[in-house]
Amino acid sequence: MKESYAAPYDDHGDTEPREECGVFGVWAPGEDVSKLSYYGLYALQHRGQEAAGIAVGNGEQIVVFKDLGLVSQVFDEQSLESLNGHIGLGHCRYSTAGGASWDNAQPMFRISPNGTDIALGHNGNLVNYQDLVREAADKGLVNPTTHPSDSDVMCALLADAVDGETTVEDAAAELFPRVNGAFCVLFTDGDSLYAVRDPHGVRPLSLGQMPGGGWVVSSETSGLDIVGAEFVRDVEPGEMLIINQDGVRSRTIAQATPKGCVFEYVYLARPDSVIQGQSVNGTRVQIGRALAQESSAEGDLVIPVPESGTPAAVGYAQASGIPFGQGLVKNAYVGRTFIQPSQTIRQLGIRLKLNPLREVIQGKRLVVVDDSIVRGNTQRALIKMLRDAGAAEVHVRIASPPVKWPCFYGIDFASPDELIANTVDQKNPVEAICEEIGADSLAFVSEEAMIAASGQPESQLCKACFDGHYPLGLPGGNPHSEAVRRLQGSACDTADELDHFVTDVEQH
């Protein structure tokens, strides 16, 4: 297996927000759990594309197979056939701080002092990582100089606490209330499958049942659908499920204080998933309708930036009465390649990812609907491409408010000083961004309309990347959190001030 690996090629010079992980677990005696896990991970591939792994337990031992790459690259028929048991635990990962090394691929695996195998997969990011890594280092479980991932630290602490007197369940009930941050954790001792969701329920996690009686837990309901499991319910914030031959048992590990990630609805989750009873596609269509009502445009055709902008574009077309059309074709797989392009190919930029349909675009006043703007490079290149293809006007409508703040809870954005909402003149930022990207007009949906479309009470959502209010606090030892702390206590009016601010904090 490879020890190091290149990140997937970013084919258009921008950094899109990226979900850091997907988790999938199945308890189903008599079923081919490794293949169920494989298909479950396929449905969650958008949540992590740099590493994939499956742990299978048969009641006596756990076998883990993982590697860097897409699910389809890591597994083949032979490797799946070697994974036999009644519990499968799958994980797909996009790496950030932990780096794209084999060591950080999941599920993590540890053996407890009494010889119990523990495999663990995690979606999210911890806020008190430093405290936990110190605790694990003091116990001699990890070497902090190697920067173990937060998932490895949790697995190490969990396994270490399991002995003749403390069960896996009790060890987890002691550990997880002390973990602060965003986490959906699946783990197994090879006999039972456990699922824990943090008290804020930042990331989604759902429980489903197989037709034959087995149980499935998945980051998104699309992972249940693909294996034919029927949705039962969401795992509650602050809840631990214990799944074994006795069925599904629930144990509260902390009082729920829900703060679901609003960006899951806007961009991250699959449109065919349902989060907290709310259809992701329905939310996006509604945001598009609200966008049309808030920011009309004189246009001949509404086109989406495929594919994440499509539902909002449908909603925009419905509410505005402007016809909907496909003006761009997405080359769906090029962004997933691990082969670095030649210089000739690299110069194609956005053309690698999107190709305009000239006969649709020619001479039209376009209303282009996208899900979000991060650094603005994509939109700048896209607008130029549309004009080159004959568009008469390009009006851009964005189905989320401007992204201004970094996420510390499991999403990787560009650093704060790279976000276009921060780099432009703050006196009239929307106009300044419009000019930067070369559009004829630009508008963002309001925060109120986005929240209303999610169907969730505002008090139960995290929207820190839009408003800078971090409901779980900021992690220690992270240069971006220092920048945020100082920004929240200061007034940086210009891009230069912000730039100096972040650079200064990162250097000291």
Secondary structure string (H, E, C) spanning 145-189: HHCCCHHHHHHHHHHHHCCCCCCHHHHHHHHHHHCCEEEEEEEEC
Q: What angle do CA 61, 44, 244 make, to 5 degrees?
A: 35
Strands (DSSP E) contained in 189-245 are 193-197, 206-209, 215-218, 230-234, 239-244
- Residue 90 or 181 having the CB closest to ligand SF4: 181
Among 291, 464, 484, 498, binds ligand SF4 (CB under 6 A): 464
Among 398, 462, 484, 487, binds ligand SF4 (CB under 6 A): 462
- Asked whether position 419 contacts ligand SF4 by CB under 6 A, the answer is no
Site mask for ligand SF4 (CB under 6 A), range 252-271, x = bound: ---------xxx--------
- Asked whether position 463 contacts ligand SF4 by CB under 6 A, the answer is yes
92 assigned binding-site residue: no
112 assigned binding-site residue: no
As measured in angstroms, the least distance from the Cβ of 462 to ligand SF4 is 3
Q: Decide: helix, strand or coil at residue 475.
A: coil
Q: Is 184 a catalytic site residue?
A: no
| Residues with Cβ within 8 Å of residue 145, at least 6 apart in sequence | none
- Asked whether position 47 contacts ligand SF4 by CB under 6 A, the answer is no
Per-residue CA distances from 237 to 141, 153, 280 (Å): 28, 21, 19
- Cα–Cα distance, 74 to 72 (Å, whole number): 6
**CA 117 from centroid of its chain's CA atoms:** 28
492 assigned binding-site residue: no
- Residue 202 or 419 having the CB closest to ligand SF4: 202
- Residue 86 or 200 having the CB closest to ligand SF4: 200
Using CB under 6 A, which residues numbered 185 to 204 contact ligand SF4?
A: 202
- 306: which DSSP letter? T
Cis peptide before 230 (omega within 30 of 0): no
Site mask for ligand SF4 (CB under 6 A), range 153-192, x = bound: ----------------------------------------
- Asked whether position 407 contacts ligand SF4 by CB under 6 A, the answer is yes
| Residues with Cβ within 8 Å of residue 457, at least 6 apart in sequence | none
Name the site residues for ligand SF4 (rule: CB under 6 A). Answer: 202, 261-263, 407, 409, 411, 462-465
**Binding site residue list:** 261, 308, 370-371, 407, 462, 465
List the binding residues for Mg(2+): 308, 370-371
Catalytic residues: 21
Annotated binding site for [4Fe-4S] cluster: 261, 407, 462, 465
